[in-house]
Amino acid sequence: MISKNEWSEKLKSLKEDISSKVIENSEFAKQRVVELLEHGLPPAQGDALLASFNGLVGDHLLQRNSRFAIPMVFTDHTQHLSDDAEVLERQLPDASGRIVLCVHGWCMADKGWVRKGHDHGKQFINAGYTPIYLWYNTGNHISLNGEEFAFRLEKLLQAWPCEVKELVIIGHSMGGLVTRSACHYAGLNQLQWLQVLRTFITLGTPHNGAPLAKLACWIDEQVADTPQLKFLQKLGEIRSSGSKDLSRGYIVHEDWQAPTIPFKQVEQDTATGTALIQRPTLPDTVQCYAIASCLGKNLQDENNRKLGDGLVPVASALAESTKGVLALNYPTEHKWVVGGVDHLDLLNHPAVAAKVSEWVLGNTL
C-alpha cells in the first residue's frame, strides 16, 4: 500500500520533472506519467481519473502491459457485461431486442454519459430500449479500438438474451470516430451486427480532426478542478496515439501506418482542381446523423462556426469537405447545429436530447 507521504513525494517528483526542457521531450514525460501510474497511484482513484490518464498515455500503458491500461468492455454502469450467453442472461434478465449503445469521447469513461442528471442512453428505457455503454482506452489508436470494438460487439450480440431487432449507436466526440472505424471493419469482415444497426448519431465528433491546440486546452480543463493534478496542465504537449488520431480524424490503420501514402482514392475537385482524399464512407444501410454545436448563438457567424463547441469546428462535426477531404455522405436533413452549447454540454443539453430522441424514435421499426 502506498502511504499518503509516499504519494505526495511521487507527485512532487513528477512535478519537478515536468519542466520546459521535459516538455520538449514528450516521450520522456510520458514515461514519467506511466511510472507514476504503475508505482504510485492509490488504488481508490476513480474511473474518471484513470480515463484521463489513459487518454494521455494509454498507448504507453498498453506497451508496458500496465494494470492501469483500460481494457475494452461493455457495461450497463453497474457491471462489465459478459459475452457468455448464460452469464449475460443473468446480468440482463430484462434485456430487450432494441439496444442503445453509447460510445464515450477522449479522456472519458462509460459513466461520463451521466451528466447533470441526463443520460442519452437511459432516456430510451421507457421506449423499450436497453442502454449499454462501451468503455475503452482513448490513448490507443482509434482504428485499433474500432476494429476491436467491431469484433467484441459481434460476440456480445451473439450472446444477447433475445433476438436483437434494432441497434442504435450514439458516439460523443472520439466515440463517433471509433464507431465509424468499427463500421468500416465490420463491413470488411462481414460482421452481422451491421445489419441490425439502424441509427448512428455523432455528437461533436471531429470527423475532419480537431486542432491540437484545442486538445491541449481540453486536458487543462479536465484536470483543473483537481488540485493534486494541476501539474498535468503542463502535459498539454504530450500526445498519445489516440489524441493524434483524434486531431486528424484518422479511423483506419493505413492512416497512421503510412500517412504520407493514403490508401484511399484521390479525386479531383472539378471546380478548383484541388485533390480530394476520399475516406471510408458512412454505412449505406444505416441512418446516420451528425450534431454540431457553437459556443455562440449566432449560427450564421463564420467565426462562431470555426470555433464550434470550443474543441470541434462545425465543419468538422458535420464532416463537410474541408482541407482537401471529401465530405461524408450525410443527407442535409441529417445534420443539425445548436447554438450556445459547448463540447461537454452535448451530453446533457435538453435541445440535443430532444433531437437525438426524435431521430432514434423516428427510425424505430
Write down all domains in the chain, each with its CATH number in brackets: 51-256+267-363 (3.40.50.1820)
- Asked whether the predicted pLDDT for residue 89 surpasses 50, the reply is yes
Q: Cα separation of 38 and 60, whole Å? A: 11
**Across all residues in the chain, what is the average pLDDT?**
84
Burial 157-189 (b: 16+ CB within 10 A, else e): bebbbeebebbbbbbbbbbbbbbbbbbbbbbee
What pLDDT is attached to residue 272? 55
Phi, psi of 294 (to 5 degrees): -120, 145
Using CA atoms, how far apart are residues 289 and 174, in angstroms rounded to an integer? 15
Q: Which of 28-32, 50-54, 297-301, 348-352 has the highest mean pLDDT?
A: 348-352
- Kindly indicate the confidence band of residue 14, based on its pLDDT and cuts at 50, 70 and 90: very low
pLDDT of residue 329: 86
Confidence band, pLDDT 50/70/90 cuts, at residue 34: low
Rounded to two decimals, the pTM is 0.84
Q: Do the Cβ atoms of 111 and 187 come closer than 8 Å?
A: no
